[in-house]
Amino acid sequence: MSQVQSTPSPGLTVVPRKRRTVEMLLLIFASALSVAAYVQVDLNVLGEVPQNLPFVAGLAFGVPLLANFAMR
């Protein structure tokens, strides 16, 4: 058995894809799940939507998105 080793051509440049948009969409999805779980727990325990929901949602969406934009 002979082993064939493939080597790239000298003039070929391979550029990996950047998946920052997919990463951002996954961050939004994870943030939405987190906020929904937070609301669901308060609805089950207290019977009402939490008063600080805008603040928590802002943090849950803002921090990961800011980090994502900083990496871009």
Residue spans of the domains in the chain: they are: 20-71
Q: How do residues 56-70 score in pLDDT, each as one tens digit?
A: 999 999 999 999 889
Rounded to an integer, what distance in angstroms lies between the CA atom of residue 35 and that of residue 59? 10
> What is the pLDDT, as a whole number, of residue 2?
59
Provide the whole-model pTM.
0.71
The single residue listed with the structure tokens 């080793």 is 5
Angle at alpha carbon of residue 71, lines to 58 and 31, rounded to 5°: 30
Structure-token pair, residue 10: 């000298």
> What is the pLDDT, as a whole number, of residue 57?
96
- Per-residue pLDDT at 3 exceeds 70: no
- Our measurement of the distance from residue 7's CA atom to the centroid of its chain's CA atoms, rounded to an integer in Å, reads 35
Structure-token pair, residue 57: 């949602």
